[in-house]
Structure 1
Amino acid sequence: MPAGMECGAIDVPVDWSRPRGKQVRLELARLRASEPAARVGSVLGVPGGPGSDGIEDLKLAAPHLTELRRRFDLVAYRPRSNVWGKTAAPSCWEPGVALRDPRDRRDYEAVAAAMAKAFAACRADDTTGLFAHLDGLSIARDMEAVRRALGEERLSLMANSYGGVVAAAYIRLFPQRIRAMYLDGVVNQTEGWPMVNLVTRVGSEQALERFGRWCAATPACALHGEDAADVWRRLTRAADREPIPVTSQQFGEGELTGWHLRNFGFVPDPGPDHARWLTLAEWTDRARQGDGSGFADFALGNTRAWATPAILAMSCGDGRGYTGWAQLRQYRRDIREAAPSFPGAAFDQVGCIGWTEPVANPPRPLEVRGLPPMLGAGALEGDFSWTERFIRMVPGSVTVGYDGPGHVLYLSGRKCPIAHATTYLTELRLPAPGTVCPAE
């Protein structure tokens, strides 16, 4: 734990429409400004996930934020989604279905019915009351309660990844309470989840081409001497026709279709020294020979996780599911054109199609009049497009690019984006449009 970290907690309503009803306790942490005489205010971290722990984020990032901390208290919280993840009933962790790409309307309706049954069982066993109140608007109201507890007139915010959904919700509810907002690798839910996934898959398509070029230039790549990107495409098409049987020590027997490999097998980020791509090439080579064991644990594990009510309840209330078979069919047409190597339904939307509760925070346009200009950051070989689509909604805002792969740069300790974030949050001064940080 960073030296000087203060811990506390606040109680907030499980259902904000019933402020005197059941409460949930949220843990808080604070690192006070190291130069109190020059203190500007508080910076509140908005964690991603959904369900990530903001206090753990602060512990990870604190060594890289010493300059920011000179002028600000750094504040973090464990959101209600994180509390839910630790307290959900055992039945909520039972998958509702063998997650798959619905082949037709009847199969779509079968998946929806199975998930609806699982959601209903989870809600019946939920003693926390949180099941139906994990949406971004509820969490944004929790953040406002944190602001009031801190005694701050306005907050500066640092949001990452799925925290973009919560940041947008806070903008909707409390725009007058925002002093500044730094957004790092955030999704733009306001455009709708099909667009979020189209942007993601376009990035995967570009990464697949980079994987192919890297393998062609790297003798250590198991697919060196071949068109590695084409090998991957042929593998997934073949697995769609004839799934690869696999056995996982943790999850038992299963099958890997091309859809499972595309969603849970390809790795866009090469990792340090391209270690992940070395592994990807080796596993791909083995899989085309009928041995899919390299992919088994991760693919089967995610197939279960993204069909469990405990996981899905953290985002279904934000409208993550397809609205119907027609929307899924349209997405399939769009993805074949935008990212032809990654066709099929988006896995994170399939599980939510049986959501039994009203969608509390549906995707919709964001009112941005009167907001301060914001700063975004994203990896050009990763999450830049996500962030840029959010940032460009707010007039005068700027997104800094990072010339390499990655996701959430300030948690990775990337010095150049952190320096820009520090200048912006401290002085409210943005870098020039088009600024790019070199890879570190």
Structure 2
Amino acid sequence: MKKSFVTLAVAVAVAALAPAASAAEPEPLTWEGCAPAPMECTSIEVPVNWAEPGGRKIRLDLVRLPATEPARRIGSVLGVPGGPGADGIKDLRMAAPDLRELGRRFDLVGYRPRNTVWRENMPAICKKPGTAQAAAMTEAFRACRQADTTGLFAHLDAMSVARDMEAIRAALGEERLSFMADSYGGVTTVAYARLFPERIRAMYVDGVVNHAADWNEQALRHHDLNERQFRKFVTWCAATSACALHGEDAGAVWRALLRSADRRPLPVTSPEFGKGEMSGWHLRQLAFVSDPGPRDANWLAFARLVDRARRGDASGFVAWPNFRVWAMPGALAMTCADGRGFADYAELRAYRRAAEKALPNLGSVRTDGLGCTGWPVKAVNPPRPLPAEGLPPFLGAGSVYGDLAWTETLTRMIPGSVSVAYQGRGHALYLSGKKCPIRHATTYLTELRLPAPGTTCPAE
């Protein structure tokens, strides 16, 4: 079989169902001033493997912005970063100016999760793209695991991350915590809600993946949104002279490129990984970015890359976000233990039939699920229902152009919960300064008062 340069995929998760460990009473945290003032920094140690609490440890860095009205302080709000592998400390530093009102009565806390530690210490071989074949992926995972010096390879699941969050709660000395979660942080949020529902005071979820629902169902929902966005891209290109495919039917050009690349894969060259090939299958799964980006930068770039690829060179797509991240065993190591793989070939075929019927222009197979075929560790945290009792109502938010559909599937599962529909484009709204969603989040987290069902926020 011909060498394939990239083949894997978009994933969304983190998990490991380790037995509950009896934690010792945590030592009080010692906070020190750090930049930018008045931010304070500290760290805690947690087990690499929560099933062996006395074993090897890793350090998680924390920061906080102390409440500016300490006499009226309610508690702490912990950010749950997305990614997987996003840095919650960077998130808080970026979002802090827009969260001043929330910070009056809360300590705002961010941390670097174990996924970030893994990402920054990932061996080089874990970044080398694998192939879609199970045997080749098994070998890629084996090489990555063998090169791992952190011990984290098999312990990057959402249950492990959730236990880290519980250790942070205990170290903060809070009986219950409030949370702000975004994107991939939804997988960790669901894991925490399963393990520690009584420790949640309030939970704001922003554009999150719902790990209480079936992966295939979530993926089809996501791809359907992408398909609709692709049709908008075609219309946009027809009306935009700067589009490299302007004056043509961009959709027809794209479909012709896919058919051609499936018959004869396109050559690609990467400064890091050398030469390879890219089929229409690869392009169909991973090339299109549904968010136009600032001043339509993503769609302008996509059109240029399509134009270049139809002339025989698809190398530009190698640096495209989905290809660069989700072709790596090290990236899949942060997701496969959450049950993202296909159970068997029959499940894969059923998903493909449903996808091909619904998605004429885009993905027909969950490439993240296919990439997990060679995963060598038991999937310890498959999707499953949340506890029927013990959870407070959640507040959700998301863009009607994309991630609201994910968020709503989660909030509908929790009695009394509400999701706010943001009428503009965007993802992780509270991290990008969207004032209306932030205002609703602040009211909810401070007063435990939800907006009315059906509330919307205008585009900003």
Q: Report the TM-score, using the length of structure 1 for normalisation.
A: 0.92
Please identify, of 249-258 and 405-414, the stretch whose mean Cα deviation from structure 2 is larger.
Answer: 249-258
Shift of residue 367, structure 1, vs aligned partner = 1.8
Which of 409, 418, 421 matches 2:438?
Answer: 418
RMSD, matched Cα = 1.8
Shift of residue 242, structure 1, vs aligned partner = 2.2
Q: 2:372 aligned with 1:352, yes or no?
A: yes
Shift of residue 14, structure 1, vs aligned partner = 1.4
8 Å contact kept, 1:115–1:355: yes
Written as runs of structure 1 = structure 2, the 5 A alignment for 1:151-300 is 151-298=173-320
Change (3 A) 1:387 1:307: same
Letter paired with 1:202:
D
In the other structure, the counterpart of 2:348 is 328
In the other structure, the counterpart of 2:398 is 378
SS of 1:278's equivalent in the other structure is: helix
8 Å contact kept, 1:2–1:62: no
Please identify, of 208-217 and 36-45, the stretch whose mean Cα deviation from structure 2 is larger.
Answer: 208-217
SS of 1:238's equivalent in the other structure is: helix
8 Å contact kept, 2:287–2:323: no
In the other structure, the counterpart of 2:18 is none
In the other structure, the counterpart of 1:108 is none
Letter paired with 1:260:
H
In the other structure, the counterpart of 2:40 is 6
Letter paired with 2:456:
V
In the other structure, the counterpart of 1:71 is 105
Change (3 A) 1:199 1:132: same
Shift of residue 155, structure 1, vs aligned partner = 0.5
SS of 1:191's equivalent in the other structure is: coil
Q: How far apart, CA to CA, are the structure 1 residues paired with 2:313 and 2:147?
A: 40
8 Å contact kept, 1:368–1:393: no
Please identify, of 10-19 and 247-256, the stretch whose mean Cα deviation from structure 2 is larger.
Answer: 247-256
Shift of residue 292, structure 1, vs aligned partner = 2.8
Unpaired segments ≥5 residues, structure 2? 1-34
In the other structure, the counterpart of 1:52 is 86
Written as runs of structure 1 = structure 2, the 5 A alignment for 1:372-411 is 372-411=392-431
Shift of residue 304, structure 1, vs aligned partner = 6.4
Change (3 A) 1:84 1:293: closer
Unpaired segments ≥5 residues, structure 1? 101-110
8 Å contact kept, 1:251–1:297: no
In the other structure, the counterpart of 2:121 is 87
Shift of residue 87, structure 1, vs aligned partner = 2.5
* Greater RCO structure (CA 8 Å; 6+ sep): 2
Q: How far apart, CA to CA, are the structure 2 residues paired with 1:88 and 1:222?
A: 37
8 Å contact kept, 2:85–2:119: yes
SS of 2:425's equivalent in the other structure is: coil
Please identify, of 169-178 and 272-281, the stretch whose mean Cα deviation from structure 2 is larger.
Answer: 272-281
Letter paired with 2:96:
A
Q: State the identity as a percent.
A: 61
Q: How far apart, CA to CA, are the structure 2 residues paired with 1:165 and 1:423?
A: 24
Q: How far apart, CA to CA, are the structure 2 residues paired with 1:241 and 1:90?
A: 32
In the other structure, the counterpart of 2:168 is 146
Q: How far apart, CA to CA, are the structure 2 residues paired with 1:63 and 1:125?
A: 41
8 Å contact kept, 1:157–1:180: yes
Once the two structures are superposed, what CA deviation does each residue of 1:400-435 show, in whole Å capped at 9, x if it has no partner?
111122211111111111111111111111112222
Shift of residue 284, structure 1, vs aligned partner = 2.1
Change (3 A) 1:221 1:391: same
Q: How far apart, CA to CA, are the structure 1 residues paired with 2:332 and 2:242?
A: 39
8 Å contact kept, 1:30–1:74: yes
Please identify, of 370-379 and 173-182, the stretch whose mean Cα deviation from structure 2 is larger.
Answer: 370-379
Letter paired with 2:44:
I
Change (3 A) 1:84 1:250: closer
Letter paired with 1:318:
D
Q: How far apart, CA to CA, are the structure 2 residues paired with 1:131 and 1:291?
A: 35
Q: How far apart, CA to CA, are the structure 2 residues paired with 1:124 and 1:275?
A: 40
SS of 2:79's equivalent in the other structure is: strand
Shift of residue 184, structure 1, vs aligned partner = 0.7
Once the two structures are superposed, what CA deviation does each residue of 1:83-132 show, in whole Å capped at 9, x if it has no partner?
1222234443344x33x4xxxxxxxxxx2222222323333343322221
Change (3 A) 1:26 1:324: same
Shift of residue 215, structure 1, vs aligned partner = 1.9
